[in-house]
Amino acid sequence: KQEVTQIPAALSVPEGENLVLNCSFTDSAIYNLQWFRQDPGKGLTSLLLIQSSQREQTSGRLNASLDKSSGRSTLYIAASQPGDSATYLCAVRRGSSGSARQLTFGSGTQLTVLP
């Protein structure tokens, strides 16, 4: 059974700092990995998707990397802003066998960027 862990559970940084969020998963036979952002009481916003054959993806100030062999992904946020404050979730979709479409989520890292 796939398990996804995100450490730390909470992180507080001053504005302008670069930061890294970590995600680890137990089964390396993944199809893809997505990073999401969730604001309090709201749904999830997709940030980046990394296919299993890729090593990284970039969007603006965000860069996500994937190392399947070690079961790890990182989300790098450059020049953090107070508006980046949210919970960041990573989710993996397992290998393509059968109809295994669902995502398995970590519990998230709650990020606070202080002005």
Partner 1 sequence: DTGVSQDPRHKITKRGQNVTFRCDPISEHNRLYWYRQTLGQGPEFLTYFQNEAQLEKSRLLSDRFSAERPKGSFSTLEIQRTEQGDSAMYLCASSLGQGRADTQYFGPGTRLTVL
What residues make contact with partner 1 under the rule CB under 8 A? 4, 31-32, 34, 36, 41-46, 49, 51-53, 89, 91, 93, 96, 99-108
Cα 64 to its chain centre, rounded Å, is 7
Residue type at position 40: P
- For residue 112, the surrounding DSSP H or E stretch is strand 109-114
Question: Of 33 and 77, which has the nearer Cβ to partner 1?
Answer: 33
31: its two tokens: 């199809």
Least distance CB 30 / partner 1 (angstroms): 10
- State the minimum distance, in angstroms, from the CB of residue 16 to partner 1: 28
What dihedral angle (degrees, nearest 10) is formed by the CA atoms of 53, 107, 84, 93? Answer: 20
Minimum distance between the CB of residue 5 and partner 1, rounded to whole angstroms?
10
